[in-house]
Structure 1
Amino acid sequence: MSSLLYRFGRTTALHPWRTLVGWLILASLVFAASSAFGGSTQDDWNVPGAESQRGIELLRDHLPDAGNASANVVVHDDRAIPAAVLTTLGERLQDVAHVSSVSPPRISADGHTAVVHLAYDTEVTHPDLMGDIEPLEKAVEATQDAGYQVELGGDQPATASAPIKGYGELIGVGAAVLILLIAFGSAVVAGLPVLVAVAGLAVGSAGVTLLAATMDVSTSAPMVASMVGLGVGIDYALLLVSRHAEFLAQGHSVEEAAGRSLATAGKSVVFASLTVLISLLGLGLTGLPTFATFGWATAIAVVAVMLTALTMVPVLCRFAGRKVLSRGVRRGRARTGRPLTARWAEGVTRRPLLWALLGTTVMIALAAPVLDMRTWPQDDGNQTTEATTRRAYDLTADAFGPGATGPISIVVDHARLAPSEVAAVRETLEGNDQLVSVSPAMASPDGAITVLTAEPAFGPADARTSGLVDDLRADLPAGVEVTGQTPMFADLAEMLSHRLWIVIGFVVAVSVLLLMLVFRSVVIPLKAAVMNLLSIGAAYGVMTAVFQWGWGASLLGIDHAAPVSSWVPILIFAILFGLSMDYEVFLLSRIREKWLDTGDATASIVHGLAASGKVITAAAAIMVFVFLGFATEGDLVVKMLGLGMATAVFLDATVVRMILVPATMTLLGKWNWWLPAWLDRALPQVDVEGDERELVTTR
């Protein structure tokens, strides 16, 4: 691979205009195909294998519009609301597109709050409904203008209550330029990686649109793909540019430096992207369509930015010439003395046991809160008070009790249970002291099912909810399904907590095998996996402390504690494990390069950290700002993703790469590179960095 990448890099630098035109033609073809054949994002919120899914399917089969989208319009005033106001409002709501029925208002005991329930004729993921509450907002305008507080709740308004504003990308790009300018002292080095990443991400976005033509791609998948694609794209381009600058400073021509940078750092980029892809595709093991599309969409973005970096960095470096070097180097005023990262590495390697214990203690302390982490899917009660759905939730809970915000549907399937047994089912429900009310039984038009609605004594995100759902299923006879949004959330939380370990096992095992293949070691991959898990565990701990315990939550615009979203741990693991392996490949490839030349374990560590420390630090700083930018968004899940990933990347680039890796490698010495002879013979030979001395022979 080294010789292939060398020839490719040198050829693209020798013929930059041909390469640029070729890339533009291919990109234009992708954009044209996306425009002509691409699809639109479409969520699939079904949960195959969940018990509550069976009840939802029964409702869809036998009750018109049941299981489809719904909305609650909550009207509040400090005096009793006149019936005429609610009647007029109901008439306007009936004219909203896709609304099939408007229920009579439910009015609180004091008459100050009313809830009008709307049923739609299609699922909430339909493109006409998903993320669009403007029709509802227009329908309630007159009531608001009359002086009444009107808030929108339910699953349809929830899809648009906290739109993504796109601050993450803007903050990330701005931070990237500033950080690179400070770190490398060159406007070219500051701008080139960002330009390459944005160009690759644009192609990747077109690829995601094409993917949407073949499967249902979640509406949130492009956001996650952009978050990861922008970060790794800058990382990959920065690694290539910095290595190119090294070869230029050594006296090589621009074309030769381009070939050598791809033959060495380019191979690191290829293998680093493979580790990211393995992690992302592990999301398919969750069994949930939404997670699978997250993985595929983000994988497309990663491949696009990786290929763009390998193709365009040599071209742009050819155009830039020696301007990729800092002004001081170009004028012969290169810095003297050892790099700060080298001096740091020497300090760590002098007292490796002390630093290893210190770093491990910090990581374990930060991860400790994870023992108390409770996961639950996001609901309206966990959003910021700036969202109308949260205000509707609070008004409903205050007027009718917290259980009114998450009623439970009890579906009796008469193919399995006779209609005469419905009374016994109702009696069982009324005997449960965790339920405050049970509605009269309602039979479907075809007589196939009977439905009852029960309201718990507490809200859906309460820690007792999962136990209540389990108790109901244990107490009720076969043929009775416990379903609705609240039981679905309970099922989802349980399923994802179990499947997280399946994803972790797969991703860790395959990543360890890949690193073993690349670095010819048993110890290095296992140690890398443990350290990556420490980073992710610390991120989980910080999320638990901030969101669940409320420590510093107000800084993120959150006014109350909330469980960690069930979606977040798996998604963070898949993304972060791959990103952490990126930095592992970048650092260890330089260490191994020196180890093969000298056989000096300690000197190799110092050399590797000195050679890659600035690049890794700058790349990680950019990632942190990208992810913190997403933490400024209004949606709680996006906040959790942003803060969790920013925390993990920061810890990975500081505590892990700067302390634990050099300290543990010093303690292990030559055992870092131990590989049984039989395994060495069985594994294909792959040299991640290549041998520079052999590159000239490939011309």
Structure 2
Amino acid sequence: MSSLLARLGAAAATRPWQVIVAWLTLLVLVFAAASAFGGTNHDDYNVPGLPSQEGTNLLSERFPEMSGADARVVVHSDTGPLAPGVLTDLGSRLADVDGVSAVSPPRLSQDSDTAVISLNYRIPVTDFQGSEGVDALQAAVAGTRAQGLEVELGGQVPENISKPSGTAEAVGMILALIILVFAFGSVVAAGLPLAVALVGVGIGSGLITIMAGFTGISTIAPTIATMVGIGVGIDYALLLVTRYTEGLRSGMPVRDAVAAANSTAGTSVIFAGTTVLVSLFGLRLSGLPMYASFGYATFAMVGIVMLTSVTLVPALCGLAGTRVLGTRSRARAERRTTSPLTERWAIRVSRRPWLWALTALGVLLLLAAPVLGMRTWPQDAGSAPAANTIRQAYDLIDSEFGPGANGPLMVAVDLNKVPAAELPSIVRGLAAEPGVASVTPVLTNADSTAALVSVQPTTGPSDPRSTELLDRIRSDAADGVHVTGLTAVFADISARLAERLWLVIAFVVALSVVLLTFVFRAPVVAVKAAAMNLLSVAAAYGVMVMVFQWGWGAQLLGLPHALPVSSWVPILMFTILFGLSMDYEVFLLSRVRERWLATGDSHRSVVEGLASTGRVITSAAAIMVAVFAGFALDGDVTVKMMGVGLASAVLIDATIVRMVLVPATMYLLGDANWWRPGGRRAAAAGGDGGGAATPAGAPLPLRAR
């Protein structure tokens, strides 16, 4: 691997313009293909095997006019009761909206100043292209708004629209540029990682758009993929450029420095990126098609970013030559490549490894403790930004009709299994359930083979008491009675994801251990790395619980109140984080292993490995934190939580884990770190510096050895 990457890097450095033009051409071709064949993103909540899906299937088969998407139009007057004629005219216009199968009579509040008109569609929400469904509703209500009335939109159709603002990406890139300039002291060197990340993310975004034309891609999957792509793209390029500048400072020619960087740091990039890609396969085990779309999108993004890193970075380095060092660095013949501060820190940890290891472990467990009380729920309109129309509609319905009106339970009855004579008894039983505010009259389809009853809880959709009510209704229901609706779907999704989380964790951890064992030929190192990654992820989960569920930082992030952790976040964050953590693990451990192979001194190898990587790991982590924290500004709650969670995890991982726990445990284990079955010293294998032991910056042969 290292020899192949060395030759690839040397070739790219020798013919930089050919490589650059090739990638730019690919970028243009992908965007052209995306324009011609790309599709629009949408969320698909149809999940075979969920209890709510049985009710959805029954309605789709026998009550199609009530089985599609839904929407709610909320009309409010600040001056008094609403005029009946206004609502009648609005209802007529809404009935003419494409796809609408039924428009309910207006439901008035007690003081008649607010009305809710519910719409049912004959088509699922996934059939809408882009914002066409919302645009049609906006056109229908424009006349009512012109009369001075407040009109807000809620329900599936308006809630299924996601419009990235680009603010998060811009903030992350600006902060990354500032950190890179500070780290390298050269605008040219700082610009290389950003340029590579932009090209990789651009191609990846185009590929995701093309994928959306052939399969379902969630509305927020591109944003999550972009967040990860920017982070790893800058990270990978930073590792390569750092190693390249070390070679230049040691006196190597440009071509040899590029080859050495690609054979060492490039190997780290390949293995770290492969770990991310393999981890993403764990999303398939969630059992949700929507989750798989996150995996497809992020897989495409990370794969392209990884390829651009080991080809485009060498080309740009070859083109820039020694300009990446900056004027002051070029004036000096050599510059120390290790960090004195990090070296002193490594020595300090080595003197009392037990104390530092136990302290770091205690801090991680303390941060992780809140995860024991973590509650999850998919995002809904109640967690949207206050200025959003779906949030305005949610709040109006909550205040005028009760919190449960935002999440009614739809009880579908198969009249081929349940006699129609039992419907009154079913309605009375539902109305008598504790926690039920009201039950609507029974609706029956045209051939009397299915019936539908809407149950309004006294509590909101995300309230755990609503889920308890759902469970009670299901436990008492006869065969042929199914509970569905968005609240039931969300409850089932949360339960499915909580159940599958442990399967995903086992899968990702096992694959990561196998990959690390292959890289370092050291099972002890692999198992220890997996355990530490689990600790850092658990600590990040705990931070999310404190910020969002406990509300310790909710208002600072633009949220009105505390709310459960989004059900989409834990599994998605775990699979991404377990891969990202390997960036620092592979880069640090391969330097340590490189020095151990050269010296045979396990203590000294840890000090030298940490000293030579401490600065780049700190810079890379700072960039990751900046990029992910920028996404905490996104209006989508799931993206916001992912940003906070990933930023917290990277910060914890790069400080407490990599700078304290890893060196402390390596000091304690000594040569046992590199034990393998058979008792022989580990042979040379992949990783940064992955060939035979080579002093940092020393030239590597370009032919296979």
TM-score over 0.5 (shorter chain): yes
Instruction: Using the TM superposition, name which of 267-276 and 92-101 deviates more.
Output: 92-101
TM-score, length of structure 2 as denominator length = 0.95
1:417-566 alignment runs, 5 A limit: 417-566=418-567
Name the CA shift for 1:694/1:517 in 2 (closer, same or farther; >3 Å).
farther
**How far apart are residue 148 of structure 1 and its match?**
2.0
Q: What SS does the corresponding residue of 1:593 show, helix, strand or coil?
A: helix
2:701 matched residue in structure 1: 696
Inter-partner Cα distance in structure 1 for 2:202 and 2:510:
32
1:124 matched residue in structure 2: 125
Inter-partner Cα distance in structure 1 for 2:108 and 2:360:
58
Stretches of structure 2 that go unaligned for 5 or more consecutive residues are none
The answer to whether residue 637 in structure 2 is matched with residue 636 in structure 1 is yes
Name the CA shift for 1:675/1:255 in 2 (closer, same or farther; >3 Å).
same
1:241 is aligned with what amino acid?
V
1:496 is aligned with what amino acid?
L
Name the CA shift for 1:36/1:402 in 2 (closer, same or farther; >3 Å).
closer
Inter-partner Cα distance in structure 2 for 1:21 and 1:129:
33
Name the CA shift for 1:23/1:563 in 2 (closer, same or farther; >3 Å).
closer
2:652 matched residue in structure 1: 651
1:7 matched residue in structure 2: 7
Inter-partner Cα distance in structure 2 for 1:333 and 1:248:
9
Name the CA shift for 1:346/1:408 in 2 (closer, same or farther; >3 Å).
same
Inter-partner Cα distance in structure 1 for 2:604 and 2:681:
25
- For the 8 Å contact 1:2–1:264, the answer to whether it is kept is yes
**How far apart are residue 339 of structure 1 and its match?**
2.5
Instruction: Using the TM superposition, name which of 520-529 and 271-280 deviates more.
Output: 520-529
The answer to whether residue 399 in structure 2 is matched with residue 398 in structure 1 is yes
> For 1:213-246, what per-residue CA distance to the aligned partner results, in whole angstroms no more than 9, with x for missing partners?
3322222221111111111011111111111111
The alignment-based identity, stated in percent, is 52
2:292 matched residue in structure 1: 292
1:39-438 alignment runs, 5 A limit: 39-78=39-78, 79-128=80-129, 130=131, 133-160=134-161, 163-332=163-332, 339-438=340-439
- For the 8 Å contact 1:355–1:659, the answer to whether it is kept is yes
Q: What SS does the corresponding residue of 1:464 show, helix, strand or coil?
A: helix
- For the 8 Å contact 2:42–2:217, the answer to whether it is kept is yes
Instruction: Using the TM superposition, name which of 684-693 and 656-665 deviates more.
Output: 684-693
1:23 matched residue in structure 2: 23
Name the CA shift for 1:145/1:42 in 2 (closer, same or farther; >3 Å).
closer
Q: What SS does the corresponding residue of 1:481 show, helix, strand or coil?
A: strand
The answer to whether residue 583 in structure 2 is matched with residue 582 in structure 1 is yes
Name the CA shift for 1:109/1:41 in 2 (closer, same or farther; >3 Å).
closer
- For the 8 Å contact 1:20–1:312, the answer to whether it is kept is yes
Name the CA shift for 1:443/1:92 in 2 (closer, same or farther; >3 Å).
closer
Inter-partner Cα distance in structure 1 for 2:126 and 2:120:
14
Q: What SS does the corresponding residue of 2:215 show, helix, strand or coil?
A: coil
Q: What SS does the corresponding residue of 1:118 show, helix, strand or coil?
A: strand
Inter-partner Cα distance in structure 2 for 1:14 and 1:436:
74
> For 1:409-441, what per-residue CA distance to the aligned partner results, in whole angstroms no more than 9, with x for missing partners?
111112322222223322321221221222222
**How far apart are residue 141 of structure 1 and its match?**
2.9
> For 1:174-208, what per-residue CA distance to the aligned partner results, in whole angstroms no more than 9, with x for missing partners?
11111011111111211001001111111112222
Name the CA shift for 1:687/1:119 in 2 (closer, same or farther; >3 Å).
closer
Name the CA shift for 1:146/1:247 in 2 (closer, same or farther; >3 Å).
same
> For 1:415-471, what per-residue CA distance to the aligned partner results, in whole angstroms no more than 9, with x for missing partners?
322222223322321221221222222211122111111111211111112221111
RMSD of equivalent CA atoms: 2.1
2:143 is aligned with what amino acid?
A
Inter-partner Cα distance in structure 2 for 1:238 and 1:134:
44
1:664 matched residue in structure 2: 665
> For 1:280-329, what per-residue CA distance to the aligned partner results, in whole angstroms no more than 9, with x for missing partners?
12111111111111111111111111111111111111111111224332
Q: What SS does the corresponding residue of 1:410 show, helix, strand or coil?
A: strand
**How far apart are residue 350 of structure 1 and its match?**
1.7
Inter-partner Cα distance in structure 2 for 1:598 and 1:3:
23
> For 1:651-677, what per-residue CA distance to the aligned partner results, in whole angstroms no more than 9, with x for missing partners?
111111111111111111111112112
Inter-partner Cα distance in structure 2 for 1:182 and 1:537:
31
Q: What SS does the corresponding residue of 1:116 show, helix, strand or coil?
A: strand
1:194 is aligned with what amino acid?
L
- For the 8 Å contact 2:417–2:480, the answer to whether it is kept is yes
Stretches of structure 1 that go unaligned for 5 or more consecutive residues are none
> For 1:547-581, what per-residue CA distance to the aligned partner results, in whole angstroms no more than 9, with x for missing partners?
11111211111111111111111111111111111
1:608 matched residue in structure 2: 609
2:170 is aligned with what amino acid?
L
- For the 8 Å contact 2:276–2:579, the answer to whether it is kept is yes
Inter-partner Cα distance in structure 1 for 2:344 and 2:425:
77
Name the CA shift for 1:148/1:17 in 2 (closer, same or farther; >3 Å).
closer
Instruction: Using the TM superposition, name which of 70-79 and 178-187 deviates more.
Output: 70-79
Q: What SS does the corresponding residue of 2:700 show, helix, strand or coil?
A: helix
**How far apart are residue 92 of structure 1 and its match?**
2.6
Name the CA shift for 1:334/1:15 in 2 (closer, same or farther; >3 Å).
closer
TM-score, length of structure 1 as denominator length = 0.96
Instruction: Using the TM superposition, name which of 292-301 and 72-81 deviates more.
Output: 72-81
- For the 8 Å contact 1:131–1:157, the answer to whether it is kept is no
- For the 8 Å contact 1:131–1:159, the answer to whether it is kept is no
Name the CA shift for 1:275/1:650 in 2 (closer, same or farther; >3 Å).
same
> For 1:78-100, what per-residue CA distance to the aligned partner results, in whole angstroms no more than 9, with x for missing partners?
41111112112222323333333
**How far apart are residue 26 of structure 1 and its match?**
4.1
Inter-partner Cα distance in structure 1 for 2:555 and 2:335:
44
Name the CA shift for 1:334/1:7 in 2 (closer, same or farther; >3 Å).
closer
Instruction: Using the TM superposition, name which of 79-88 and 208-217 deviates more.
Output: 208-217
